[in-house]
Chain A
Amino acid sequence: EVVLTQSPGTLSLSPGERATLSCRASQSVSSRFLAWYQQKPGQAPRLLIYGASSRATGIPDRFSGSGSGTDFTLTISRLEPEDFAVYYCQQYDSSLWTFGQGTRVVIK
């Protein structure tokens, strides 16, 4: 089973700042199978990025994804008030989906 480790656990930033979230896999993951989600309290997760770097429909271009192999990154170029939330990375391998433990982005 591929284990995804996200860092940091909590990111404290101000609106307008840049957020960089990391997702590290325990073994190499195909970029095709790496996605990022945003979750706000009381809501279902929302797909942000798929294929490691493709934005989902309706996702603002301040969100971007990059990386390959075992190291992937979600970047929010300038934080808007609505971006403070929990972010999860996810991968698919050998008929099994796994999620990272999440990074919480909070207002500083």
Chain B
Amino acid sequence: QVQLQQWGAGLLKPSETLSLTCAVYGGSFSGYYWGCIRQPPGKGLEWIGEINHSGGTNYNPSLKSRVTISVDTSKNQFSLKLSSVTAADTAEYYCASSRRYNGYDWDYYMDVWGKGTTVTVSS
């Protein structure tokens, strides 16, 4: 079954760039869209963006100016970069699948999740 392993720096200073990498194991990389979601401490879930194996992306309009999601199909990995971080970007960051191809169409749900990476922005 498909699994996600994620990693990235946990402590950043304001104005730095957050980097998160997610590796996909055990399944079809091209059969999914891959996305990033974050959750500030004690708060709800916020979708950041998604990418497919061809590099096509969709981003949350509220973060679009600072977000880049890229893909490396040779390694079955995708990566998130969020620039110019502030304390408001402190959150748990998750990698997840965001669509699954069922053989004839796409199913729209997130059924594969990474364990999360805690990112703190502090001077």
Interface residues of A (CB under 8 A from B): 1, 32-33, 35, 37, 39, 44-47, 50-51, 56-57, 88, 90, 92, 95-102
Contact status A35-B44, CB under 8 Å: no
With A96-B58, A96-B61 known to touch, is A47 a contact of B110 (CB < 8 Å)? yes
Closest CB in chain A relative to B69 CB, distance in Å: 13
Q: A1-B61, A44-B94 are in contact. Are A99 and B111 (CB under 8 A)?
A: no
Residue from B44, B108, B114 in contact with A44 in the complex, judged by beta carbons closer than 8 Å: B114
Q: Decide: B115 and A45 in contact? CB cutoff 8 A.
A: no
B side interface size, CB within 8 A: 21
- CB-based contact B44/A101 at 8 Å: yes
Flag if B111 contacts A90 (CB, 8 Å).
no
Chain B residues within CB distance 8 Å of chain A = 35, 44-47, 50, 58, 60-61, 94, 96, 98, 107-111, 113-116
B113 near A99 with CB under 8 A, answer no
Which 8 A-B pairs rank lowest in CB-CB distance, beginning with the nearest? A50-B109, A44-B113, A97-B47, A95-B58, A99-B45, A47-B111, A35-B109, A92-B108
Given contacts A50-B107, A90-B110, 7 further A-B contacts (CB under 8 A): A33-B108, A35-B108, A46-B113, A57-B111, A92-B108, A95-B58, A96-B60
Give the distance to chain A from B46, nearest Cβ to Cβ, in Å: 7
Of all chain B residues, the one with the shortest Cβ separation from A97 is: B47
